[in-house]
């Protein structure tokens, strides 16, 4: 195969992989850039009948398994049949498959940044894709029997290495060990990767399709934690006895620093998944990693399910396979991820479609012990503070952190201790300690994880500061709009107040005149309170207006400072303080360790690890220095000052809005009271008159057509009853009414004379007009 480079228009690119007796080569077309993965058998006559059967079975299964998460076969160009005949001495069918440019899952897990598992987005995608493929195979009674990271490939759309996770597809390959099997079948032969074998393959001669559940569970644990769950440094023959003793709840067995064996119900803390997802997947792993194959993957771990043929034959109680549906239900859960500035950590919560931001604040309060009313949640997308009644689901994003939470009282904490893995703590406390291979590998893995998470937290903190700066710009704009609306309302209040001022001024003058004359003073008691209330109301409006003028100046100043931004200052700070040097040292140290003789050949020795100890120490020192420097940066002080100032201004504007509305209401009430008092006074005057003739003309009801100047008014009015008993002041009231009636009669007389004069003048004009016309004739 090595000497064959060209086959027709196809050019050999490189070897993609080589198995126990098969080799996969990538071929590229000269003209259209098409790529094919060609798998041929590299052996000849030495192949056994079982090997030939396995090869033929894989070809047949791949050709019939049409599923997006199982690598598909393609029609092989005819030139390969003849062009590769020399390289195919076995004469077995040549397998032509689609090319997946992302490599296999093992290559992904071998990267340094995956030393403690993959990011949650990748984990979810892998579990979804592989779960779907495995469910498909089991539906058609096919057991894979060799599920492992090496047999999962990464398909990138159009070969784009930077494709988003939702565009990446993970596919199962190598169905050579796959076998058609149902729940009552017996399988008594297997050749595969020992570390991923189910326990019954070591302890029993028979097994069922539940062996795939075990392999799937191991795979899930490894992509989350970067290591297998059961004593990964031991061979299967060594770790199987410990696994046999585990309880249903145990999903992890590990060796401590001192070599003790520990059982755990939890995933390792050093991972990149959220706490809610961790809790959910731990429940699923208990089902997937059940020791008893009859109970594994099913909904009733406490009772017998189907029988694998054994010496004990009899009836059984069947239960339901839930492993795939349970996983899908978990993957459908929505988890919101929030970066918490007060603690410089990520927090996450499972949410429903009805949960509000107020719920989120209460959850966070329980975790970080800051009152919910002191918390501000800002969206990274539009940099606006989110209201308590808004739905969390509107801001949910499966891939990224989209919400930042802040404390109103302080921007970032002065002192906050990081979460340091136990292995890193130990190396810092005992920098000259000796490590065997197992402990040293744990140290390097956890050190890489620790520094990587510190880098990510630092990046999130910088992004949070920038987002807060942008949100303050938005906040100042919103406050200016609200200020203008309140300002308009205040203007309307002042205009309304001017009207009532004029009415009160006239009223006060009339009252003063009456009091000086001693006329009608018994009817004016209600006006005193109204005048006092009006004075109080005017004082309140004056104070509000004065305070409002001062607030306007403060708001303009705060808005100007918020619009200055901090982007340039942040860029300068980041250029000086960043993790790049530390990460470069970490990466170099990690790669050197993996290539060292201690890692590859002398695993029985013990040695110190000063290089990784120094990197961890430098990381902590840098973190502490950076937080101290941030506290004294002018841009941070400005953010803090503007944030506090806008918060105070927002409270004042809200109070002013409430007070303005309240004063509007008080002014309306005062106006109504003043009007009511006036009309009540008139009513009292009317009811105090003894006879209708004593009443003012303006309060007498009459029919205009029946009114005669010479006749008495009483003939045309409805009688009024006197509801108020006369007293010592009745003579004064009667005098006022009499004077008013006389004035009215004098007015009517003058009007009559004026009307007579108008008629006389009109007649004279008509006469003159007629006279002029006759003279013209």
Contact 269, 424 (CB under 8 A): no
Q: Is residue 338 part of a domain?
A: no
pLDDT band per the 50, 70, 90 thresholds, residue 174 = confident
Count the alpha carbons within 13 Å of 48 in the hemisphere toward its beta carbon.
Answer: 4
Domain presence at residue 708: yes
User: Mapping DSSP to helix (H, G, I), strand (E, B) and coil, where does residue 161 land?
Assistant: coil
Q: Which residues of 751-761 are buried (b: 16+ CB within 10 A; e: fewer)?
A: eeeeeeeeeee
Q: What is the mean pLDDT of residues 403-432?
A: 91
Cβ(693)–Cβ(741) under 8 Å?
yes
Tokens of residue 178, six digits: 């796959």
In this prediction, residue 223 carries a pLDDT of 97
Split at pLDDT 50, 70, 90, the class of 673 is: confident
Is residue 716 included in any domain, yes or no?
yes
Q: Compute the average pLDDT of residues 425-430.
A: 95
**pLDDT tens, residue by residue, 254-264:** 999 999 999 99
> In this predicted model, what pLDDT tens digit does every residue of 312-343 receive, in sequence order?
444 445 678 999 999 999 999 999 999 999 99
Q: How many CB atoms neighbour CB 580 within 10 A? A: 9
Domain end, chosen from 38, 67, 99, is at 99
Helix (H, G, I), strand (E, B) or coil at 692: helix
> CA nearest 280: which of 230, 320, 220, 222?
220
Q: Name the most confidently modeled range: 132-141, 293-302, 412-421, 493-502.
A: 132-141
| Calpha distance 146→642 (Å, rounded) | 61
What's the CA dihedral at 640, 644, 646, 650 to 10 degrees?
Answer: 160
* Crossing angle for the helix pair 634-688 and 730-776, to the nearest 10 degrees: 90
pLDDT at 527 (0 to 100): 77
Q: Is the pLDDT of residue 464 over 90?
A: yes
State both tokens at 70: 């199982």
**Cβ burial, residue 315 (10 Å; 0-12/13-18/19+):** exposed
- Which domain-ending residue is among 69, 99, 129? 99
Place of tokens 């396979």: 321
Q: How does residue 709 score in pLDDT terms, banded at 50, 70 and 90? A: very low
Q: What is the mean pLDDT of residues 421-443?
A: 94
CA distance 58 to 61: 5
Q: What is the spatial distance between Cα 490 and Cα 339, in angstroms, rounded to a whole number?
A: 41
With a pLDDT cut of 90, the percent of the chain lying above it is: 47
DSSP 396-416: --SSS--EEEEESS-SS-S--
Q: Can you tell me the mean pLDDT for 743-749? A: 64
pLDDT in tens, 95-136: 898 899 889 999 999 999 999 999 999 999 999 999 999 999
Q: Rounded to an integer, what distance in angstroms lies between the CA atom of residue 113 and that of residue 52?
A: 40
253 burial type by CB count under 10 A (0-12 exposed, 13-18 middle, 19+ buried): buried
The mean of the pLDDT values for the chain is 83
* Residue 742, domain member (yes or no): yes
User: Residue 450 — pLDDT band, cuts 50, 70, 90?
Assistant: very high
DSSP secondary structure letter of residue 171: E
Give pLDDT, residue 165: 76
What was the pLDDT predicted at 56?
A: 83
d(C-alpha 492, C-alpha 496), whole Å:
6
pLDDT of the residue at 306: 43
- pLDDT given for residue 763 in this prediction: 57
Residue 766 has pLDDT above 80, yes or no: no
Would you place residue 179 in the very low, low, confident or very high pLDDT band (cuts 50, 70, 90)? Answer: low
- pLDDT on residue 678: 79
Structural domain boundaries enclosing 29 = 1-99
Q: Answer whether residue 10 is part of any domain.
A: yes
> What CATH number is attached to the domain comprising 81?
3.30.200.20
Q: Is residue 74 part of a domain?
A: yes
Determine the pLDDT at residue 623: 93
- Domain contains 152: no
Residue 402, burial from CB neighbour count under 10 angstroms (0-12, 13-18, 19+): middle
pLDDT at position 357 is 95
Contact 586, 447 (CB under 8 A): yes
Residue 740 predicted with pLDDT over 90: no
Of the candidates 364, 579, 356, 567, the one whose C-alpha atom is nearest the C-alpha of residue 467 is 567
Q: Which of 74, 99, 124 is the last residue of a domain?
A: 99
pLDDT at 737: 53
CA distances for 562 relative to 161, 463, 469, 474, 640, angstroms: 40, 17, 7, 9, 11
Task: Indicate whether 709 belongs to any domain.
Answer: yes
Q: Is the pLDDT reported for residue 707 higher than 60?
A: no
Instruction: Name 713's Cβ contacts closer than 8 Å, sequence gap at least 6.
Output: 692, 693, 697, 700, 702
pLDDT for the residue numbered 773 = 42
Which of 2, 16, 82, 91 lies closest to 47 in space, CA to CA? 91
For 7-38, letters b (16+ CB in 10 Å) and e give beebebeeebbeeebbbbbbbbeeeeeebbbb
Q: Is the pLDDT of residue 579 over 80?
A: yes
In the chain the first and final C-alpha atoms are separated, in Å, by 140
Note the pLDDT of residue 747: 61
Question: Tokens standing for 528?
Answer: 């005193």
**Alpha-carbon gap, residue 129 to 136, rounded angstroms:** 11
Domain count, the chain: 2
pLDDT in tens, 532-566: 888 888 999 999 999 999 999 999 999 998 888 78
**Cα dist. 724→508, 581, 689, 695, 727 in Å?**
26, 99, 9, 14, 9
Contact 200, 207 (CB under 8 A): yes
């Amino acid at each position: 195969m090595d000497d064959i480079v060209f086959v027709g228009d196809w050019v050999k690119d490189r070897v993609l992989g080589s198995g126990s007796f098969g080799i996969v080569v990538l071929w590229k077309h000269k003209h259209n850039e098409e790529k094919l993965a060609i798998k041929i058998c590299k052996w000849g006559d030495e192949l056994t009948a079982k090997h030939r059967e396995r090869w033929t079975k894989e070809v047949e299964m791949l050709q019939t398994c049409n599923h997006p998460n199982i690598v598909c076969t393609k029609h092989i160009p005819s030139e390969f049949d003849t062009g590769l005949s020399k390289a195919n001495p076995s004469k077995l069918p040549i397998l032509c498959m689609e090319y997946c440019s992302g490599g296999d899952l093992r290559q992904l897990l071998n990267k340094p940044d995956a030393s403690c598992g993959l990011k949650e987005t990748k984990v979810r995608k892998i579990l979804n894709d592989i779960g779907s493929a495995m469910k498909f195979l089991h539906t058609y009674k096919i057991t894979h029997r060799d599920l492992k990271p090496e047999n999962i490939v990464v398909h990138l759309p159009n070969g784009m290495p930077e494709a988003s996770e939702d565009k990446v597809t993970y596919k199962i390959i190598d169905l050579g060990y796959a076998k058609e099997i149902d729940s009552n079948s017996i399988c008594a032969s297997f050749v595969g990767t020992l570390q991923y074998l189910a326990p019954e393959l070591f302890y029993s001669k028979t097994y069922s399709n539940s062996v795939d559940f075990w392999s799937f569970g191991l795979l899930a644990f490894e992509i989350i934690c970067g290591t297998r769950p059961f004593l990964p440094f031991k061979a299967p023959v060594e770790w199987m006895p410990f696994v046999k003793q585990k309880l249903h709840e145990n999903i992890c067995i590990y060796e401590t620093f001192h070599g003790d064996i520990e059982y755990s119900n939890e995933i390792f803390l050093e991972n990149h998944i959220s706490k809610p997802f961790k809790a959910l997947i731990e429940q699923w792993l208990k089902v997937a990693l059940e020791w008893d194959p009859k109970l594994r993957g099913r909904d009733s771990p406490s009772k017998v399910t189907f029988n694998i043929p054994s010496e004990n034959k009899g009836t059984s109680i069947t239960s339901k396979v839930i492993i795939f549906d349970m996983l899908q239900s978990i993957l459908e859960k929505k988890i919101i991820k929030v970066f918490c500035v007060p603690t410089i950590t990520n927090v996450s919560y499972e949410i429903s479609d009805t949960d509000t931001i107020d719920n989120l604040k209460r959850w966070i309060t329980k975790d970080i012990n800051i009152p919910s009313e002191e918390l501000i949640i800002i969206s990274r997308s539009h940099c606006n503070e989110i209201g308590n009644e808004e739905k969390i689901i509107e801001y949910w994003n499966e891939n990224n952190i989209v919400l930042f939470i802040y404390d109103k009282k302080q921007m970032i904490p002065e002192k906050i201790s990081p979460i340091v893995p136990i292995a890193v703590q130990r190396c810092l406390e005992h920098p000259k300690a000796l490590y065997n291979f197992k402990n040293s590998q744990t140290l390097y893995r956890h050190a890489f994880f620790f520094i990587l998470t510190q880098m990510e937290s630092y990046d999130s903190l910088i992004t949070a500061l920038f987002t807060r700066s942008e949100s303050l710009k938005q906040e100042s704009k919103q406050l200016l709009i609200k200020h203008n609306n309140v300002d308009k309302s205040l203007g309307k209040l002042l205009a309304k107040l001017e009207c009532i001022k004029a009415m009160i001024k006239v009223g006060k003058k009339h009252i003063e005149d009456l009091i000086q004359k001693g006329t009608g003073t018994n009817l004016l008691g209600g006006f005193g309170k109204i005048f006092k209330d009006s004075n109080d109301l005017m004082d309140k409006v004056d104070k509000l207006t004065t305070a409002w003028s001062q607030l306007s100046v403060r708001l303009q100043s705060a808005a100007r400072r918020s619009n200055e931004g901090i982007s340039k200052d942040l860029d300068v700070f980041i250029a000086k303080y960043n993790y790049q040097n530390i990460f470069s040292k970490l990466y170099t140290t990690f790669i050197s360790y993996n290539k060292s003789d201690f890692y590859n050949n002398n695993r029985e020795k013990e040695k110190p690890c000063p290089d990784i100890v120094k990197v961890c120490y430098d990381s902590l020192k840098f973190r502490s220095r950076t937080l101290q420097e941030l506290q004294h940066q002018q841009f941070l002080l400005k953010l803090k000052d503007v944030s506090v100032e806008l918060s105070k201004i927002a409270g004042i504007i809200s109070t002013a809005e409430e007070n303005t509305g309240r004063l509007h209401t008080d002014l309306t009430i005062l106006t109504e009271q003043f009007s009511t008092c006036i009309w009540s006074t008139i009513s009292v005057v009317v009811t105090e008159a003894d006879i209708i003739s004593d009443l003012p003309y303006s309060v007498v009801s009459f029919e205009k057509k029946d009114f005669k100047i010479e006749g008495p008014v009483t003939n045309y009015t409805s009688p009024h009853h006197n509801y108020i008993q006369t007293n010592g002041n009745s003579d004064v009231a009667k005098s006022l009414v009499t004077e008013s009636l006389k004035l009215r009669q004098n007015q009517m007389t003058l009007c009559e004379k004026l009307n007579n004069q108008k008629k006389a003048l009109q007649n004279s004009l008509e006469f003159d007009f007629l006279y002029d016309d006759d003279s013209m004739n």
